[in-house]
Amino acid sequence: MINLETPRKFRPLVGQAHQVAMNLLRPNSRKYDQFEHEYPKELDMLAAMIDGLSESGAASGAGASGVRREEGTPDEAAAGTKNGSNLASVLSITEMCWGDVGLLLSMPRQGLGNSAIASVANEEQHKRFDGVWASMAITEPGCGSDSANIQTTAVLDGDHYVLNGEKIFVTAGDRCDAVVVWATLDKSLGRAAIKSFVVPKGTPGMNVERLEHKLGIKASDTATIRFEDCRVPKENLLGSPEVDVKQGFAGAMATFDNTRPLVAAMAVGCARASLELTRELLEKAGVAIDYDRPAQVQSAAAATYLQMEADWEGAYLLTLQAAWMADNRRPNSLEASMAKAKAGRVGSDITLRCVELAGSIGYSEHELLEKWARDSKILDIFEGTQQIQQLIVARRLLGKTSAELK
């Protein structure tokens, strides 16, 4: 029988993450929302602590670090289940984003590029890039959710690949140590030729053009980066350099199977923060929420709150399922997209409706409700928009290819 409780071995990690969120992230949330692009120095000590715990093996999955799917088949896991680093990361990220999403995304060495490295790098690369703070550069001016239409090129020239193109909306693009850049080896071969490259900061030909001013997650810098004849050692191509037309985009998409549950966890954590504060405000206003009575016989505010909690629970469970499947070496592309689609939409809906329920208090800066509403919107957009996730889910359920169902 499935057990939906937090695994016993992860409870200390969850408790520690919650304490960090409550005592460090939440108190600094408004400060770095107002001082956009200012680096949160308070995170340096936290990052060092997480690094130390991870090296000692005491806190696998702490922070937003990448998660690595072990080799094997589902049959090998048939004798029992495993709760590993994917689930640990999801649980800790949920707690940290209860504190602040933007600050979590600003943590050194915990970028989404680290998840890309963990997903597709070989063992030698995994060791070589250990400890590197990596951002991920996918989106381009003419290519958003359609990652298969990437125009940035990578041409092999001796012992180097030469990169040319422009990337936008690169999270932590200015602060990171390296950027994981998605580029095509041959446009004529379509999505099968898209590979990812680790480009260290300071590499000639890579220039940060500007930092974006955003609606939310202002603590996190978001950069536009241009590559002009940028030479990258061929050993920095993640995974195999071979172009497998039969495999298609599957190698690159494996990155998303790991990162989408992480983004879903961010939305779940932010939405939970809004729900908890809204319930406190409603109770202070005399609104009683009774779980023993049908919603239709309670006040409109109570009924709305109960519906939001039910939606949140669905997003939370889908997120746990996607992470658990990855830990147990089961294909989770469908579940990862379902979790991202549900959590992204629910996160935006819940945070906005909480602002409405709280009235003027929700709309003002007196509480963090309005900030959470702004922060949550990006979680429905990056790592694949709501519409893209629904398209992926439809293809998986109907057994259609990307060419058959667009």
Distance CA 230, CA 204 (A): 6
CATH number for the domain spanning 168: value is 2.40.110.10
- Identify the CATH number of the domain in which residue 374 sits: 1.20.140.10
Q: How many CB atoms lie within 10 A of CB 251?
A: 21
- Mean pLDDT (the chain) is 89
- Where is mean pLDDT largest: 148-152, 160-164, 379-383? 160-164
Quick check: 378 pLDDT over 60?
yes
Count of positions (residues) in the chain: 406
Of 90, 125, 160, which marks where a domain is finished?
A: 125
Query: 309 with 224, same domain?
Result: no
CA–CA distance, 280 with 226 (Å, rounded to integer): 47
pTM for the model: 0.92
Query: Per residue in 44-84, pLDDT tens?
Result: 988 887 776 666 555 544 444 444 554 444 454 445 678 88
Q: Does one domain contain both 263 and 205?
A: no
**CB neighbour list of residue 219: distance below 8 Å, 6 or more residues apart:** 29, 32, 33, 36, 40, 100, 102, 103, 105, 106
Q: What is the CATH number of the domain that holds 29?
A: 1.10.540
Q: Judge whether 177 lies within some domain.
A: yes
Of 272, 261, 282, give the one whose Cα is nearest residue 346: 272
Cβ burial of 172 (10 Å; 0-12, 13-18, 19+) is buried
Given this model, what pLDDT does residue 65 score?
45
**pLDDT per position as a tens digit, 312-322:** 999 999 999 99
Same domain, yes or no: 266 and 352:
yes
DSSP label at residue 70: P
Q: Say which residue, 74 or 249, is predicted with more confidence.
A: 249
- Cα 108 from Cα 87, distance rounded (Å): 21
The domain of 42 spans 8-125
- 119 with 197, same domain: the answer is no
Domain boundary among 125, 158, 189: 125
Most confident of 250-259, 371-380, 381-390: 371-380
- Residues designated as active site: 383
Number of domains in the chain: 3
Question: For the chain, what is the largest distance between any 2 Cα atoms, rounded to a whole number of angstroms?
Answer: 73
- Provide the token pair at 391: 């398209």
**149 shares a domain with 115:** no
Q: Do 271 and 372 belong together in one domain? A: yes
Q: What does the CA dihedral 103, 104, 109, 115 come to, rounded to 10 degrees?
A: -140
d(CA 361, CA 369): 8
265 and 379 housed in the same domain: yes
Between CA 191 and CA 253 the distance in angstroms is 10
Do both 254 and 393 map to the same domain? Answer: yes
What proportion of the chain, given as a percentage, has pLDDT over 70?
Answer: 90
State the average pLDDT over residues 130-139.
92
Instruction: Find, among 319, 335, 316, the residue nearest to 271 by Cα.
Output: 316
Residue 45 CB-density burial (10 A; 0-12 exposed, 13-18 middle, 19+ buried): exposed
* Residue 101 in domain: yes
DSSP helix/strand/coil, 112: helix
Neighbouring CB atoms inside 10 A of 362's CB total 24
Identify whether residues 256 and 381 lie together within a single domain: yes
Q: Which of 205, 236, 267 is the last residue of a domain?
A: 236
